[in-house]
């Protein structure tokens, strides 16, 4: 027969560090600048590979809020390196 040891329901929770934070970044490739923090957001311009940007906030996990031509806009931080 098998042992009938009590089974405890242990839930392991990991506290993931936020992948992206506000601060300075350098773009790894040419990026679309969008009006909303989404791939569906209207493209308002482009930033070239190597461009340094300052991210004021992070929205929807990966979107960096920047100022582009005087307006708040967003770039994906998946292809940017934190400086």
Extract the tokens encoding 58.
Answer: 């992070």
Sheet hosting strand 52-55, strand order edge to edge: 52-55, 23-27, 80-82
SS3 call for 77: helix
What pLDDT, on a 0 to 100 scale, did the predictor assign at position 34?
97
Extract the tokens encoding 64.
Answer: 């960096």
What pLDDT, on a 0 to 100 scale, did the predictor assign at position 5?
59
What pLDDT, on a 0 to 100 scale, did the predictor assign at position 18?
59
What pLDDT, on a 0 to 100 scale, did the predictor assign at position 54?
97
Average pLDDT estimate for 29-47:
96
pLDDT, tens digit (0-9, with 9 covering 90-100), for 10-37? 555 545 555 889 899 999 999 999 999 9
Say yes or no to pLDDT of 45 above 80: yes
Residue 8: DSSP 8-state: P
């Amino acid at each position: 027969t098998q042992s009938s040891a009590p089974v405890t329901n242990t839930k392991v929770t990991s506290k993931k560090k936020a992948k992206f934070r506000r601060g300075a970044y350098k773009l790894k490739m040419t990026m679309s600048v969008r009006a909303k923090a989404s791939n569906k957001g209207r493209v308002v311009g482009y930033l070239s590979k190597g461009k340094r940007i300052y991210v004021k906030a992070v929205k929807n996990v990966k979107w960096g809020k920047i100022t582009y031509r005087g307006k708040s806009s967003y770039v994906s931080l998946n292809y940017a390196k934190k400086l």
